[in-house]
């Protein structure tokens, strides 16, 4: 619902004075729900006798500040999204419920004082139980560390219990006082000496701590952006202010947390989808009370109630995971910049492959533009080579050149990363007699074969089928997989390199809680020589022993209908390439393609991302595409194919000043989960014209006779047309 609702405050609830941001219980139809006070007014425009009263004031500590209420209203206004849903999504699930919240005090682990007997136990662990010893060291180096942090760092409950049984550690109630900087807060042991490039950036950020400024750190992979973040945070924390660090995916949380834990002995709170409801509420509360000095989280962490926020850092700012793709379709980076502006504090964006929008803002002087052109330490940039698949003998999707390089790398005792952005065993199966294809009837797309579980799974709607023993069309048993996924690549590599350990990292292999952190730690410990994965493995991870990276399939992005596909492919390719040669050993990247002469690939390999980006920005400007124009995407779906098209077409009948329409056209995947889908792009040369047009469209939709027969949604600044 897009409107606000007015309630009156009964006399018994008027003292103390009700505040903006307070949570109250209100009657809503036949039920009672949580409401948030947005504004107060002594006068009422309605018949007072018909205005309901609030049922209860909760009088708890979970109210929103005036600044956060204003920020959430700004978010709702910019994205033209129902304000109630914006507030709902900003609150932890437990705060959306009427039930009383019983909070157990937060607990942390401490190391026991070592006597002779305990010291002997610790020495024994160092020799015979390396994991328990590492866990003990992690706890001993802190004045208190929570189970959530330890779990994120990859430790297990069994290891924790073992140390507890040996009386080496003890669990105690955490002191929840506001964070205050102390002498032992900063650990100088692993503080690195900054290069001149890094030092200039840190001093520029330090000079702008008391006012809004946006800093883009455009640094090649492995150039030491994290060290810049860490040293920029020192002055903020020393002023007893809080820092918000946003990473695009949960997978990057463990290594980010590890670096920050080693540098700062401060309370760190985590915010991501891997936490349960009580853990998320604990993060929310520790941020609100000021006891959390640093909050590390994924995109929704931008709504955390940090009252003493002094700096925001967005790592991998280009990543599409920062954009919410359903319901409230906000962009975490853009909302972070809005919040920094509102609070008058600096924000730092970091990436080796900046998004075109951010790069354009930096080039025009809107953002402070900093470049890190050299890798940190002794590591050198990996060399990218194209492998022409038309000139190769190919086995299991691996060219002869690649197999030879893998063998040589393994013989040197180094690790190999193979990147294939397609999970499952094969993207389809078919009959080799009658060419029947196993298609999902609800999506008109092939089922993906997952051979280990013996299932055909639709990656679009989630439908599952058992793999048929014979063709339902002709009865033939000659059913074979088409194409290749990570599961198949893993099994083929086991055949070719039986003496080497292989690990696969994708959404299927990391479903279990803590599994991703565990596998990443095993890679760092060199337990696996061959790493197979999707983009989960490509982003931001530091693998010092990976010297060969192979990208198996990039051709799809070269011929996509989406004008952003080439930008996203280039970013992914450079990010994957950045996993090679991050220590002192030289790295190599092999990119397999059937179109090695494609201008995009040639430009990227020979001239680098920045030359490619400048060329592509020139093309975008000539074609009047973002970031030189502004877009909104109106999506509609229904059970009947005619409804969404009619609904969207009726909206284009009235011209909008300063805007033009593209469509309506069927979505790239017209049918999904039984629904037929169309979309309409609205484009304008100015942001002001676009938002004025959206308000007109919303007014037209409210009077449209088809609005109740279709499900529609609005996406401001869309980054994915392939929904």
483 pLDDT higher than 80: yes
Residue 138 has what pLDDT? 84
Q: Tokens in use for 96?
A: 């959306």
In this structure, is the dihedral angle defined by the CA atoms of residues 679, 680, 684 and 688, taken in order, positive or negative?
negative
Report the pLDDT value the prediction gives residue 656, as an integer from 0 to 100.
84
In this predicted model, what pLDDT tens digit does every residue of 6-58 receive, in sequence order?
Answer: 898 888 888 888 889 989 999 998 899 999 999 888 788 788 888 888 888 88
Does residue 16 have a cis peptide bond before it, meaning omega lies within 30 degrees of 0?
yes
Looking at residue 423, its pLDDT comes to 84
Alpha-carbon distance 446 to 15, whole Å? 62
Q: How far is CA 121 from CA 31, 117, 381, 709, in A?
A: 59, 7, 44, 69
Identify the band that residue 539 occupies on the pLDDT scale cut at 50, 70 and 90. Answer: low
The percent of residues in the chain predicted with pLDDT above 70, rounded, is 97
Task: Give the span between the Cα atoms of 6 and 27, in whole angstroms.
Answer: 11
Q: How many helices (H) and strands (E) does the chain have?
A: 20, 31
> What pLDDT was estimated at residue 108?
84
**Lowest mean per-residue pLDDT among 215-229, 318-332, 630-644:** 215-229
Contact between 98 and 32 (Cβ < 8 Å): yes
What per-residue confidence (pLDDT) applies to 87?
A: 93
Of the two residues 584 and 402, the one the predictor is more confident about is 402
pLDDT the model gives residue 583: 58
**Rounded-to-10 torsion of CA 437, 438, 440, 445:** -40
Same fold, 11-90 and 630-716: no
Q: Above 90 in pLDDT, residue 290?
A: no
- Answer whether 344's CB lies under 8 Å from 212's CB: yes
Distance CA 228, CA 346 (A): 14
Give Rg (Cα) of the chain.
27
Helix 599-622 with 356-363: angle, nearest 10 deg = 60
Residue 520 has pLDDT above 90, yes or no: no
pLDDT band at 581 (very low <50, low <70, confident <90, very high): low
The 10s digit of each residue's pLDDT in 610-640 is 999 999 999 999 999 999 999 999 999 999 8
What sign does the dihedral 504-506-512-517 (CA atoms) show? Answer: positive
| 92: enclosing H helix or E strand | none
- Residue 614's CB is within 10 A of a number of other CB atoms, namely 13
379 confidence band (pLDDT: 50, 70, 90): low
Predicted local distance difference test score (pLDDT) of residue 251: 66
- SS3 of 273, please? coil
Residue 647 has pLDDT above 70, yes or no: yes
Quote the pLDDT of residue 127: 85
Q: What are phi and psi of 301, to 5 degrees?
A: -65, -15
For 714-723, the pLDDT digits (tens) are: 999 999 877 6
DSSP state of 664: E
Which pLDDT does position 392 carry in this prediction?
Answer: 83
Cα-Cα-Cα-Cα torsion 169, 170, 173, 179, nearest 10 degrees, comes to -20
Query: pLDDT at residue 125 above 80?
Result: yes
- Before 410, cis peptide (omega within 30)? no
504 pLDDT band (50/70/90 cuts)?
confident
What would you measure as the largest C-alpha separation in the chain, in angstroms?
Answer: 84
Higher pLDDT, 61 or 111: 111
Strand, helix or coil at 95?
helix
pLDDT of 192 strictly over 90: no
Specify whether domain 183-372 bears CATH 3.40.50.300. yes
| Cross-strand partners of 110 | 170
Cβ atoms within 10 A of the Cβ of 200, count?
A: 14
Distance, in Å, from the CA atom of 290 to the CA atom of 309, rounded to the nearest integer, reads 9
Question: Over the chain, what is the mean pLDDT?
Answer: 87
Lowest-confidence segment of 159-173, 305-319, 340-354, 376-390 by average pLDDT: 376-390
Give the position of tokens 């392939």: 722
**Band of residue 267 on the pLDDT scale cut at 50, 70, 90:** confident
> What tokens appear for 12 in the block?
């018994």
Q: For 59-100, how does the pLDDT look when each residue is reduced to its tens digit (9 = 90+)?
A: 777 889 999 999 999 999 999 999 999 999 899 988 888 887
Nearest to 447 by CA among 461, 431, 432: 461
Asked if residue 252 has pLDDT above 80, the reply is no
CATH topology of domain 11-90: GIY-YIG endonuclease (3.40.1440)
How buried is 161 (Cβ within 10 angstroms: 0-12 exposed, 13-18 middle, 19+ buried)? Answer: exposed
Q: What is the pLDDT of residues 233-248, one digit of tens each?
A: 999 998 999 999 999 8
CA 339 to chain centre: 18
- Collapse the DSSP code of 248 into the 3-class scheme (helix H, G, I; strand E, B; otherwise coil) and give the result: coil
Q: How confident is the model at residue 553 (pLDDT cuts 50, 70, 90)?
A: confident
Cα separation, 352 vs 22, whole angstroms: 42
Tokens of 655: 């011209």
Q: Give the residue-averaged pLDDT of 505-520.
A: 76
β-strands 502-505, 530-533 pairing: parallel
Residue 644 to residues 649, 670, 678, 712: CA-CA distances in angstroms? Answer: 8, 11, 6, 8
**What is the pLDDT, as a whole number, of residue 378?**
60
Nearest to 312 by CA among 334, 282, 330, 288: 334
Range scoring the smallest mean pLDDT among 43-52, 233-242, 399-408, 641-650: 43-52
Read off the pLDDT of each residue in 664-690 and give the average, rounded to a whole number. 91
pLDDT band at 338 (very low <50, low <70, confident <90, very high): very high
Q: Give the CA angle between residues 581, 586, 588 to the nearest 5°.
A: 75
Nearest alpha-carbon partner for 306 in 292, 325, 327, 321: 292
Report the distance separating Cα 649 and Cα 30, nearest Å.
37
The answer to whether 237 and 293 are in contact (CB under 8 A) is yes
Tell me the per-residue pLDDT of 302-322, one tens digit each, with 9 for 90 and over. 999 998 999 999 999 998 889
Torsion, Cα of 120, 126, 129, 132 (10° steps): 90
Q: What separation, in Å, do the N-terminal and C-terminal C-alpha atoms of the chain show?
A: 24
**Residue 265 predicted with pLDDT over 90:** no
Distances (CA, A) of 31 to 25, 91, 156: 10, 20, 43
Specify the pLDDT at position 272: 83
Domain map of the chain by residue range?
11-90, 107-173, 183-372, 383-423+485-618, 428-482, 630-716
- 383-423+485-618: CATH superfamily: P-loop containing nucleotide triphosphate hydrolases (3.40.50.300)
* CATH class belonging to 630-716: alpha beta
């Amino acid at each position: 619902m897009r409107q606000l609702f007015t309630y009156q405050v009964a006399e018994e609830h008027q003292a103390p004075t009700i505040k903006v941001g307070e949570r109250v219980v209100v009657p809503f139809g036949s039920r009672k729900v949580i409401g948030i006070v947005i504004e107060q007014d002594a006068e009422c425009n309605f018949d007072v006798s018909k205005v309901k009263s609030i049922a209860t004031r909760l009088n708890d500590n979970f109210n929103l500040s005036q600044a956060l209420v204003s920020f959430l209203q700004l978010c709702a206004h910019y994205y033209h999204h129902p304000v109630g849903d914006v507030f709902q999504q900003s609150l932890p699930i437990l705060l959306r419920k009427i039930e009383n919240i019983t909070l157990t005090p937060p607990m942390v682990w401490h190391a026991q004082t070592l006597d002779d007997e305990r010291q002997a136990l610790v020495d024994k662990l160092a020799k015979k139980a390396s994991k328990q010893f590492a866990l003990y060291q992690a706890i001993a180096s802190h004045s208190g560390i929570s189970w959530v942090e330890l779990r994120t760092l990859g430790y297990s409950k069994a290891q924790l219990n073992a140390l507890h049984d040996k009386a080496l550690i003890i669990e105690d109630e955490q002191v929840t006082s506001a964070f205050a900087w102390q002498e032992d807060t900063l650990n100088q042991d692993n503080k690195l000496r900054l290069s001149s490039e890094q030092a200039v950036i840190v001093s520029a950020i330090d000079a702008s701590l008391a006012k809004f400024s946006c800093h883009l750190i455009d640094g090649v992979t492995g150039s030491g952006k994290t060290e810049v973040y860490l040293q920029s945070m020192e002055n903020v924390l020393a002023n007893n202010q809080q820092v918000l660090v946003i990473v695009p995916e949960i997978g990057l949380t463990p290594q980010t947390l590890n670096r920050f834990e080693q540098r700062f002995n401060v309370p760190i709170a985590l915010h991501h989808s891997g936490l349960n409801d009580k853990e998320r509420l604990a993060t929310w509360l520790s941020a609100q009370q000021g006891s959390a000095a640093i909050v590390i989280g994924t995109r929704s962490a931008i709504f955390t109630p940090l009252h003493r926020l002094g700096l925001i850092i967005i790592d991998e700012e280009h990543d599409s995971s920062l954009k919410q793709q359903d319901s409230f379709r906000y962009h975490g980076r853009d909302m972070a910049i809005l919040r920094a502006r509102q609070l008058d504090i600096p924000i730092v964006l970091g990436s080796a492959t900046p998004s075109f929008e951010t790069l354009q803002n930096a080039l025009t002087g809107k953002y402070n533009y900093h470049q890190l052109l050299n890798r940190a330490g002794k590591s050198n940039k990996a060399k990218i080579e194209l492998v022409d698949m038309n000139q190769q003998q190919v086995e299991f999707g691996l060219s002869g050149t690649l197999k030879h390089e893998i063998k040589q790398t393994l013989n040197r005792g180094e690790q190999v990363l193979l990147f294939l952005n397609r999970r499952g065993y094969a993207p389809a199966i078919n009959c080799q007699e009658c060419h029947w294809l196993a298609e999902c009837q609800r999506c008109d797309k092939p089922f993906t074969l997952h051979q280990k579980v013996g299932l055909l799974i639709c990656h679009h709607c989630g439908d599952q089928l058992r793999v048929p023993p014979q063709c339902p069309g002709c009865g033939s048993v000659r059913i074979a997989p088409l194409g290749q996924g990570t599961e198949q690549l893993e099994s083929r590599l086991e055949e070719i390199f039986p003496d080497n350990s292989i690990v696969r990292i994708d959404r299927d292999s990391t479903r279990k809680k803590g599994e991703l952190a565990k596998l990443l730690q095993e890679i760092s410990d060199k337990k696996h020589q061959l790493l197979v994965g999707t983009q989960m493995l490509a982003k931001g991870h530091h693998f010092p022993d990976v010297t060969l990276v192979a990208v198996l399939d990039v051709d799809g992005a070269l011929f996509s209908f989406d004008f952003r596909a080439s930008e996203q492919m280039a970013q992914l390719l450079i990010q994957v390439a950045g996993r090679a040669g991050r220590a002192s050993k030289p790295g190599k990247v092999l990119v397999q393609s059937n179109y090695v002469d494609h201008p995009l690939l040639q430009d990227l390999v020979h001239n680098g991302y920045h030359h490619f980006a400048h060329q592509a920005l020139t093309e975008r400007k000539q074609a009047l595409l973002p970031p030189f124009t502004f877009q909104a995407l109106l999506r509609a779906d229904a059970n009947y194919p005619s409804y969404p098209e009619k609904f969207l077409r009726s909206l284009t009948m009235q011209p909008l000043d300063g805007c033009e329409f593209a469509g309506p056209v069927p979505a790239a995947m017209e049918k999904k989960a039984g629904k037929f889908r169309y979309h309409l792009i609205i484009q304008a040369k100015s942001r002001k014209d676009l938002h004025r047009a959206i308000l007109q469209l919303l007014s037209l939709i409210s009077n449209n006779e088809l609005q109740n027969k279709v499900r529609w949604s609005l996406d401001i600044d869309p980054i994915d047309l392939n929904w």
